[in-house]
């Protein structure tokens, strides 16, 4: 029986600015295998609930925890308005059978995602109902808050369809997604591209506000032995942990760097920090390898782990 129950999950989501409702008994609710084992969960699993048109988030959550013959069906229910209902702190029956999938902590074995993932059911029919921008924004905020809280990286996510292709189509449909982000569709059902989901989660992680706590901050790591700089999440003593290549040269990157610099300035924090290639060996690189560097040919071996 797994011993780890994510009883801080409601607090984690509330701290990320989400509206959170806690279902009675969620802190001890789990499938028959109990909580998570070891360092699990390893993945955030994205679903649509295939709910009826007009169904409320409360009705979906009640079915997930009480009405289904395989309850609990999920850890979280995400409403159309971006509010979240927390249903279960342990492992749930949200995923069923599926492929082995690689994540940053290892490969989730075949048919084992239920015991390795936090499952989110978003209220949507999945057959063309609009996905409001506020719901999409909340989905990414949930993903990145949970991966940060539990020591994962933003790309430790999967769609249900990527885990169980041919059996599941969620999330869908891509054409119904509203707002600035527009995922590609991978099939005639309009299933979202998991590559697009991961890229967007990473992009939103790469330009966050500075952490509010005393232990971490965001810095610009400027290398002295290459033509590259990185947005880095660092400890207060300057040890970089996660880095994302930040040019130089792209107007979008320059804008993000400027926003980080301004945020650091308002907190009286150091922003620019010199570094070198050797100092990246203990870092995880999220996203693209640097390119166009006249002084160094990047291969990915410079980093502890590369998560493209």
- pLDDT tens by residue, 202-219: 878 854 443 444 456 788
Q: Which residues contact 15 (CB under 8 A, 6 or more apart)?
A: 145
The Cα 33–Cα 38 span in angstroms is: 13
Report all structural domains of the chain as residue ranges with CATH numbers, in order of start: 9-205 (3.40.80.10), 216-307 (no CATH)
- Asked if pLDDT for residue 292 goes beyond 60, the answer is yes
- pLDDT tens by residue, 53-105: 999 999 999 999 999 999 999 999 999 999 999 999 999 999 999 999 989 88
pTM: 0.70
Query: What DSSP line would sit under 98-131, residue for residue?
Result: ---EEETTEEEPTT-GGGTEEEEEE---SSS--B
Predicted pLDDT at 261:
83
- pLDDT tens by residue, 276-287: 999 998 888 888
Nearest CA among 45, 42, 77 for reference residue 160: 45
Out of 66-80, 132-146, 155-169, 227-241, pick the least confident.
227-241
- pLDDT tens by residue, 18-63: 999 999 999 999 999 999 999 999 999 999 999 999 999 999 999 9
């Amino acid at each position: 029986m797994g011993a780890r129950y994510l009883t801080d999950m409601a607090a984690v989501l509330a701290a990320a600015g989400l509206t959170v409702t806690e279902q009675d008994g969620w802190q001890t609710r789990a499938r028959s295998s109990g909580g998570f084992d070891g360092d699990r969960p390893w993945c955030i699993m994205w679903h649509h609930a295939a709910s009826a048109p007009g169904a409320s988030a409360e009705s979906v959550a009640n079915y997930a925890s009480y009405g289904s013959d395989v309850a609990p069906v999920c850890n979280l229910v995400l409403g159309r308005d971006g509010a979240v209902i927390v249903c279960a702190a342990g492992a749930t029956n949200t995923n069923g059978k599926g492929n082995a999938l690689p994540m940053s902590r290892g490969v989730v074995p075949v048919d084992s995602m239920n015991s390795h993932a936090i499952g989110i059911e978003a209220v949507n029919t999945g057959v063309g109902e609009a996905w409001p921008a506020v719901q999409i924004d909340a989905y990414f905020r949930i993903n990145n808050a949970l991966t940060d809280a539990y020591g994962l990286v933003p790309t430790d996510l999967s769609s249900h369809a990527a885990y169980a292709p041919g059996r599941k189509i969620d999330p869908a449909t891509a054409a119904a997604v509203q707002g600035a982000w527009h995922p590609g569709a991978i099939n005639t059902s309009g299933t979202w591209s998991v590559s697009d989901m991961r890229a967007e989660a990473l992009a939103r992680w790469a330009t966050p506000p500075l952490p509010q706590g005393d232990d971490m901050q965001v810095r610009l790591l400027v290398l002295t032995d290459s033509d590259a700089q990185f947005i880095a999440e660092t400890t207060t003593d300057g040890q970089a942990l996660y880095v994302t290549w930040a040019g130089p040269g792209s107007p979008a990157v320059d804008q993000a760097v400027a926003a980080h610099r301004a945020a650091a300035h308002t907190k009286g924090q150091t922003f620019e920090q010199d570094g070198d290639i050797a100092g990246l060996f203990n870092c995880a690189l999220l996203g693209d390898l640097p390119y166009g560097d006249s002084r160094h040919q990047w291969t990915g071996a410079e980093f502890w782990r590369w998560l493209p």
